[in-house]
Amino acid sequence: MSDFYNKKDDNSNIDMLRKKLKPKDRLILSLDVANRFEAMEVLKKTDGSISTIKVGLELIYNEGLGIVDIVKKSGYKVMLDAKLMDIPNTIAGALRGISKLDISMITIHTFGGASMLKNADETLSEIYRQKHKNKPLLFGVTVLTSLDDGDLEKFGFNLKFTELVLKMAKIAISNNMDGIICSPNEVRFLRENFGYDFFIATPGIRLAEDNIGDQKRINTPEKAIKDGSDFIIVGRSIIESTDIKGRINLYLEKIERELLNDKNS
């Protein structure tokens, strides 16, 4: 398994890390299932074809955090989709607990604000400095991919979601987040404005034949990668397939083809 996460202290060069990413590192499977038995079934079918599994609220609240160890013992890195948001002191405390889990990526809501993000990064950095280990990558969630302009209007926001995602991404990046989470539709805009010195991970991924479900800001894996997404996060499009391994391979082929196109263009 490639060691692509290894961030050398705070001086790491994201671009260098990005160059090490293989297609199997770029596809993150969202293990949104109801219990550990279903989780194990999916992991068996996944069969080491990808590096990272995203464990999110559904599995955490149904199985407890012990599920993280099960996933790791099956040979995968873990993105803990904790979607942390609270006052800075509470989030720092939560991160002290999470740091015992030895995971690779953590999500945190940018809406928690600059102080919360900054404190989260400092807390994690200090813990991992003491452990002499690389700290997990912190990803700031910008605006959920299940929300659109209509939702923002109801919140009272007087701006389009692309502008809001841009503002959120700026807060995340300037407070030392290693990456941000946004929809594939915003990646190009973000890269044009802020460059490449941070990771982007995109949920809201669908193939043409898929059901959209509850997501609103969706696009294809090709579009996400072409526009500069580093990681695509896919749940139902793979989990609900009768041929999980075949579906993963299809995604990997699409990612590989897009990366090659990019190199040749």
| Of residues 72 and 236, the one with the C-beta less far from ligand C5P | 236
Stretch 199-238 residues interacting with ligand C5P (CB under 6 A): 203-205, 213, 215, 233-237
Whole-angstrom distance, CA of residue 76 vs CA of residue 52: 5
- Which ranges constitute the DSSP H helices of the chain? 14-19, 23-26, 36-46, 57-63, 66-73, 88-98, 114-131, 149-155, 161-174, 187-194, 221-227, 236-239, 244-264
Binding test (CB under 6 A) with ligand C5P, winner from 25, 32, 227, 230: 32
Using CB under 6 A as the binding rule, whether residue 144 contacts ligand C5P is answered as yes
| Of residues 128 and 228, the one with the C-beta less far from ligand C5P | 228
Whole-angstrom distance, CA of residue 61 vs CA of residue 67: 10
CA angle centred on 235, ends 94 and 66, rounded to 5°: 40
Q: Let me know how long the chain is.
A: 265
> Least distance (Å) from ligand C5P to the CB of residue 212?
9
Active site residue 83: yes
Choosing from 24, 45, 72, 83, the catalytic residue is: 83
Please name the residue that has the structure tokens 């279903």.
38
| Of residues 19 and 154, the one with the C-beta less far from ligand C5P | 154
Binding map of ligand C5P across residues 145-184, x = CB under 6 A, - = no contact: x-----------------------------------x---
> CA torsion 83→92→103→141, rounded to 10°?
30
Interface residue list for ligand C5P (CB under 6 A):
30, 32, 56, 81, 141, 144-145, 181, 203-205, 213, 215, 233-237
- Enumerate the active-site residues: 83
